[in-house]
A and B are shown apart, each in its own frame.
Chain A
């Protein structure tokens, strides 16, 4: 296992379309996080899973966003009816019991 993997790396979509991103965490890590990062800003927390349970969601996560982590393995983040304001880098991170967090390379979303 070489680290956290995210797919796709880049996504261009038309406004109003749905998109789904995937994250494969480090296999033994029980915690998985999604963050969003816009240009010139640090990443902002979106949601958190411990194993398969989604334990926390930020107010940034509108009703158009949904995340799952079936069987406590990989996770998906879906954005419905995309808006131009959704354009950002979406980052996934995993950790073991709140220790060092490891990030993937991110998915760059552009909504046109």
Chain B
């Protein structure tokens, strides 16, 4: 059974810092990996999707990497802003649709003004 772990569980940093969120998964047979952002009481907003054949994806100040063989992904946030404060969730897709996405518990990020 696939298990996804996110470290750290919570992180508080001053505005302007660069930071890295970590995600690890136990079964490397994945179709893709997706990073999401969730604001309190809201749904999930997709940030980046990395296909299993890719090593990284970039969108603005966000960069996500994937090392499928070691079961790891990182989300790099450059020049953090208070508006980046949210919970960041990592999810892996086994492909084929069955079982949907398997999520980690998330990293709760606070950016101090």
**Which residues of A are in contact with B by a Cβ distance under 8 Å?**
4, 6, 31, 33, 35, 40-45, 48, 50, 55-56, 58, 91, 93, 98-106, 108
Interface centre among A33, A43, A44 (most CB of B within 10 A): A43
Q: How far is the CB of A48 from chain B (nearest CB, A)?
A: 6
Chain B, residue nearest A107 (CB): B43
Chain A, residue nearest B31 (CB): A98
The range of chain B's interface size is 20 to 34
Asked if A42 contacts B97 (CB within 8 A), the reply is: no
User: Pick the contact of B43 from A98, A99, A103 — CB < 8 Å?
Assistant: A103
Q: Given A42-B106, A44-B103, A45-B100, is A103 in contact with B36 using a C-beta cutoff of 8 Å?
A: yes
Residue B49 lies at the interface, judged by CB distance under 8 Å to chain A? yes
In angstroms, Cα B6 to Cα A64, docked, is 32
